[in-house]
Structure 1
């Protein structure tokens, strides 16, 4: 029983610690300082484009990001501006 509690606790810690470090998507850059951009290509869905851009933004230390382009047919691409 202790193992189950420990596994649940560990899982919750991973979920909440990841969420606290994630960059948030914004629709306007008012009052934000641009620190660069990231891009992804060859992705299966637009949802995956958004997820991968968010992940790259967090890895670059951005507190937020704005998707400035996304598209594709069979495979998708996207570009996001990063902000602090």
Structure 2
């Protein structure tokens, strides 16, 4: 029983730690207090909203940004998103 509790705790902490390091989606109001750091785009075929957020967050992280705001979004059979990055 202790092993299950330990595994559950470690899993939860891993998710929390990952979320703390990943760039966060922000609103326009939140972005007003942040320094712009460029833009990124993603595109492809098929996907889910969680996939889009993960891809944008990863690209923002690669550019050293702590947050991003989506400024263009097209979905359907193909998707395309553009996000402004913030530090």
Q: TM-score, normalised by structure 2?
A: 0.76
Q: Judge which range, 21-30 or 70-79, deviates more.
A: 21-30
Q: CA deviation at 1:43?
A: 4.3
Inter-partner Cα distance in structure 2 for 1:59 and 1:24: 13
Q: Judge which range, 38-47 or 68-77, deviates more.
A: 38-47
Q: CA deviation at 1:60?
A: 3.0
Corresponding pairs, count? 84
Map 1:48-67; keep pairs closer than 5 Å: 48-67=51-70
> What are the ranges of 5 or more consecutive residues in structure 2 without an aligned counterpart?
none
Q: Judge which range, 44-53 or 2-11, deviates more.
A: 44-53
Give the corresponding residue for 2:79.
76
> What are the ranges of 5 or more consecutive residues in structure 1 without an aligned counterpart?
none
Map 1:38-53; keep pairs closer than 5 Å: 38-45=40-47, 47=49, 48-53=51-56
